[in-house]
């Protein structure tokens, strides 16, 4: 059973370009989470998605960032018109249906390291 897969592992973009980060959850997992790790900072939650639905995007910047998890295919985190401050490691995690009693083991992918020149 393959783990969470993310691609590309490294992405270099110039300011103003678009970045597309992909995440394939573990087999059988229908919940995907995106986190961002800025240099010298901790991991911060961005968005939580189920298939075809955004459940919680409270951690997502209001502009330029969007996420989707279509019925078929990987989840995509899209950053339009990238700026240098977007340079970070972006991690995706997946889980099965979260337990209502707070149990929620999330399995993390290796991350995509975005560098904006």
Partner 1 sequence: SQELEQSPQSLIVQEGKNLTINCTSSKTLYGLYWYKQKYGEGLIFLMMLQKGGEEKSHEKITAKLDEKKQQSSLHITASQPSHAGIYLCGAVPPGNTGNQFYFGTGTSLTVIP
By CB under 8 A, residue 65 contacts partner 1: no
Which residues lie closer than 8 Å to 63 by C-beta, 6 or more apart?
Answer: none
Using CA atoms of 99, 105, 111, 115 in order, give the dihedral in degrees to the nearest 10.
60
- Check binding of 69 to partner 1 (CB under 8 A): no
Bond before 8 cis per omega within 30 degrees: yes
CB 31 to partner 1: min, Å? 8
- x/- binding map, residues 70-99, to partner 1, per CB under 8 A? ---------------------x-x-x--xx
Q: In angstroms, what is the minimal distance from the CB of 76 to partner 1?
A: 18
Stretch that binds partner 1, among 14-22, 56-64, 65-73, 74-82 (CB under 8 A): 56-64
Q: Are 94 and 25 in contact (CB under 8 A)?
A: yes
Question: Which residue lies nearer to partner 1 by CB, 6 or 75?
Answer: 6
Q: By the criterion CB under 8 A, which residues form the site for partner 1?
A: 4, 6, 33, 35, 41-45, 48, 55-56, 58-59, 91, 93, 95, 98-100, 102-111, 113
């Amino acid at each position: 059973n393959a783990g969470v897969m993310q691609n590309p592992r490294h992405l270099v973009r110039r300011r103003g370009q678009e970045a597309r980060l992909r995440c394939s959850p573990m087999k059988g997992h229908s919940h995907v989470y995106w986190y961002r790790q800025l240099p010298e900072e901790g991991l911060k939650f961005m968005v939580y998605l189920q298939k075809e639905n955004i459940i919680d995007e409270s951690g997502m910047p209001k502009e330029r960032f969007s996420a989707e998890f279509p019925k078929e295919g990987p989840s995509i985190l899209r950053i339009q018109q990238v700026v240098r401050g977007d340079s970070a490691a972006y991690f995706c995690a997946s889980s099965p249906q979260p337990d209502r009693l707070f149990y929620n083991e999330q399995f993390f992918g290796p991350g995509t390291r975005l560098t904006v020149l």
